[in-house]
A and B are shown apart, each in its own frame.
Chain A
Amino acid sequence: MNEKDKYTVVEAPEGYSAPGFFATTLDKAVGLARKNSLWPLPFATSCCGIEFMATMGAHYDLGRFGAERLSFSPRQADLLMVMGTIAKKMAPVVQQVYEQMAEPRWVIAVGACASSGGVFDTYSVLQGIDKVVPVDVYVPGCPPRPEQIINGFMKIQELVGNEPLRRRYSPEYKEMLESYGIKIDK
């Protein structure tokens, strides 16, 4: 077997190549770099956090996708993974952590409780974190299997790879953030 066939490398984006150079758009090149090196912030509060720990383990390795370095500080993270039930007491904390993250930032809601309140339709549980932060991908399940979490992560990678570079400066984006009550720096 050829040496090269043993390893799978990331697919190159569309572009024009000739001997000595490869030309593609800046969006795609930056997207390719970003999506294979996302640094997640595991905001794990309950049972889905244990399934996330299993996903980070050796069996279902999330590190294969470039997410080996977990960042517990929002200043250094790209992806906020909210896993577990968010109570109304915790909601301002989630919003504050989201505000502290630097652009570009994505949010994935793992589990039924983070997506919509889950089993707990009570006075104390926030019925979905999309009441306080804008969410990109929802992963349903109670708890979702590690394969589902990886599937959600791959969807985030798709979003990251195809994102236009000017999206975060557009007025529609700023309007959306204001509708959640999230303070913008500029």
Chain B
Amino acid sequence: MKTINSEHHLDLTKEDEKVYSTLNLGPTHPATHGIFQNVLTMNGETIVSAEQTIGYIHRAFEKIAERRPYYQITTLTDRLNYCSSPLNNIGWHLAVEKLLGVETNKRIDYMRIIVMELARISDHLICNSVIGVDSGALTGFVYLFEEREKIYEIYEELCGARLTTNLGVVGGFDRDFSPIAIQKIRDLMKELPKVLHEFENLLMRNRIFMDRTINVGAISADRALNYGFSGPCLRAAGVDYDVRVQEPYSSYNDFDFSVPIGQNGDTYDRFCVRQTELWESIKLVTNALDNLPEGKFNTEVPAFFMPPKEDVYSKMEPLISHLKW
């Protein structure tokens, strides 16, 4: 008895069933990165249909978040997309600021853009190098992970942690960018283009890579919209939609950047869209860092702001708000 997973599932008659074989691409497969299971119906080596089982990493974030204070939920959001934790943190802070009606000044917005684009660079570096690893090209992986180490060093300057960053507070940041951090960001933006060029030389016009990824996993724009795709996968399918342009948050509308769109929605298009977004992010970070305005690094929302230690030891209200955390 076959259960139906989608409207594209095949209804096989008894004779047909003898032609197709079943293969279990179990939950611990390296290409699925160990999180979901595919039971494949195959005709020789071509996959004809598949049925997925997910939930092997269900950690009940929503249930935990029901009973935590707002600032403790930031640590939970780190672990939602662990390849780019600051993006999740800042997304959560933006949501809480919307509820509170807090406006952040330009300096905080630009600092947030720098951090978010660094996280985007870090995430796309993983995605693109791992496409190479899954098809057997391990060299690109090793080169790009060296650049991620530099991004980790920048996170350590900003917040103290490498991967699960818990960066910032509601209303801004808890400390300003130090001169070391700014220097590290500038150095990285100078070096990243060279490494990206090397990586592109390795993979982008490589005959083997192109044969393995062009027309593989192609999704049309209609299907992508029907399924609710968003992000680079939707843009690779040909839909011109980027939240940063349509509903700008955190002063993205001050910047001029282009959004890459693909044509076929196959793996090669997704790879190229992410690669182009890397170049755009480098431009955004450099622009934001060059035009960083002066101002406070925190809007001092009363329940979420940690007062500086000199005030805590000498004045009454900072002492009270410090102990209330």
**A/B contact in complex, CB under 8 angstroms:** yes
Q: Which residues of A contact B (CB under 8 A)?
A: 43-47, 49-51, 53-54, 57-59, 72, 84-85, 87, 89-90, 93, 97, 119-120, 122-125, 142-143, 145
User: Which of B27, B34, B60, B141 has its CB near the most chain A CB atoms (within 10 A)?
Assistant: B34
Give B37's nearest chain A residue, CB to CB: A93
A72: chain B residues within 8 A (beta carbon): 28-30
- Are B64 and A57 in contact, with the CB atoms below 8 A? no
B35: chain A residues within 8 A (beta carbon): 45
B83: chain A residues within 8 A (beta carbon): 50
Shortest A100–chain B CB gap in Å is 10
Given A46-B79, A49-B33, A125-B60, A59:B149 Cβ within 8 A: yes
Given A47-B79, A49-B33, A119-B76, A54:B59 Cβ within 8 A: no
- Are A53 and B57 in contact, with the CB atoms below 8 A? no
Given A58-B142, A87-B58, A93-B27, A47:B164 Cβ within 8 A: yes
A143: chain B residues within 8 A (beta carbon): 162-164
A122: chain B residues within 8 A (beta carbon): 59-60, 63-64
B162: chain A residues within 8 A (beta carbon): 51, 143, 145
Answer yes or no: B249 CB below 8 A from chain A CBs.
Answer: no
Answer yes or no: B82 CB below 8 A from chain A CBs.
Answer: yes
Q: How far is the CA of A89 from the CA of B34 in the complex (A)?
A: 13
- Are B142 and A44 in contact, with the CB atoms below 8 A? no
Shortest B221–chain A CB gap in Å is 31
Give A70's nearest chain B residue, CB to CB: B30
A49: chain B residues within 8 A (beta carbon): 33-34
Answer yes or no: B132 CB below 8 A from chain A CBs.
Answer: no
Shortest B165–chain A CB gap in Å is 11
Q: How far is the CA of A12 from the CA of B28 in the complex (A)?
A: 38
Shortest B29–chain A CB gap in Å is 8
> What's the dominant secondary structure at chain B's contact region?
loop
- Are A58 and B146 in contact, with the CB atoms below 8 A? yes
Find A53's partner among B58, B79, B145 (CB 8 Å cutoff).
B145
Give B76's nearest chain A residue, CB to CB: A119
Q: How far is the CA of A51 from the CA of B155 in the complex (A)?
A: 14
Give B129's nearest chain A residue, CB to CB: A53
Find A57's partner among B26, B58, B145 (CB 8 Å cutoff).
B145
Give B56's nearest chain A residue, CB to CB: A90
- Are B145 and A89 in contact, with the CB atoms below 8 A? no
Chain B residues 113 to 148 lying within 8 A of chain A, measured CB to CB, are 126, 141-143, 145-146, 148
Answer yes or no: B75 CB below 8 A from chain A CBs.
Answer: yes
- Are A54 and B57 in contact, with the CB atoms below 8 A? no
Answer yes or no: B69 CB below 8 A from chain A CBs.
Answer: no
B141: chain A residues within 8 A (beta carbon): 57
Answer yes or no: B44 CB below 8 A from chain A CBs.
Answer: no
B55: chain A residues within 8 A (beta carbon): 87, 89
- Are B33 and A44 in contact, with the CB atoms below 8 A? yes
Given A49-B34, A72-B30, A90-B27, A123:B145 Cβ within 8 A: no
A50: chain B residues within 8 A (beta carbon): 82-83, 126, 163
B76: chain A residues within 8 A (beta carbon): 119
Answer yes or no: B152 CB below 8 A from chain A CBs.
Answer: yes
A46: chain B residues within 8 A (beta carbon): 57, 79, 82
- Are A93 and B56 in contact, with the CB atoms below 8 A? yes
Give A94's nearest chain B residue, CB to CB: B28
Q: A47-B164, A54-B152 are in contact. List 14 more A-B contacts (CB 8 A).
A: A44-B34, A45-B34, A46-B79, A51-B163, A57-B145, A72-B28, A72-B30, A87-B56, A87-B59, A90-B27, A93-B28, A119-B75, A120-B59, A125-B59
